[in-house]
Amino acid sequence: MDTIVGPGGRGAIATIGSRSTNYVWMTQCYGKDSWYLSERVKQRLRPVKAMITTITSDNGVEFAEHQRIARSMNIDYYFADPYQTNQRSRIEQLNKLIRQYIPKKQDLDWVQPKELKHIEDKLNHRPRKKLGFKTPHEVFFNTTETLIKVGALEM
């Protein structure tokens, strides 16, 4: 998990990516308020709560309420070592992909939820070499269907 912050700290977008499938979730936050970010992340991940086992983020102040996320989702929460972006390379790459749609100079306070959903859909339906040229959506939901069939998940 990471955040993309707008110029002058105006607005933020929390980005959450699945390591194994590259599936992405995005939610708009207003600045780096940790309580608000934790509420938005919990709300955004609630539908797939059973499929998430860990979250890793950097040590930013916006993740100060990480315990609330971990408790509500019953997961382990980890922090990357300071200045070790290689430990979070997938989310950094994901943020670069998002920047293809939202330029660095754009004020993120004015990004509409509909626009974020459109970007999510584009990224989740873009074939990836890492996934054998399947889309993150195909891989994520195929895994989900397989787990439901064998009774490993209850939804």
Check residue 146 and give its pLDDT.
43
Residue 102 in this model has a pLDDT that exceeds 80: yes
Mention the CATH class of domain 2-104: alpha beta
The pair of structure tokens assigned to 71 is: 């408790």
How large is the average pLDDT for residues 57-68? 91
The pair of structure tokens assigned to 144 is: 């989900």
Residue 11 in this model has a pLDDT that exceeds 90: no
Check residue 153 and give its pLDDT.
38
Check residue 143 and give its pLDDT.
63
Instruction: Name which of 140, 145, 149, 144 is nearest 19 in CA terms.
Output: 140
**Residue 100 phi/psi, 5° resolution?**
-70, -25
Higher-confidence position of 98 and 88: 98
**Can you point out the beta strands (E) in the chain?**
2-5, 12-17, 24-29, 54-57, 76-79
How large is the average pLDDT for residues 40-65? 91
Q: Residue 51: pLDDT band by 50, 70, 90 thresholds? A: confident
Instruction: Name which of 12, 23, 137 is nearest 63 in CA terms.
Output: 12
Q: Residue 152: pLDDT band by 50, 70, 90 thresholds? A: very low
Q: Where are the domains of the chain?
A: 2-104
Q: What is the pTM for the complete model shown?
A: 0.83
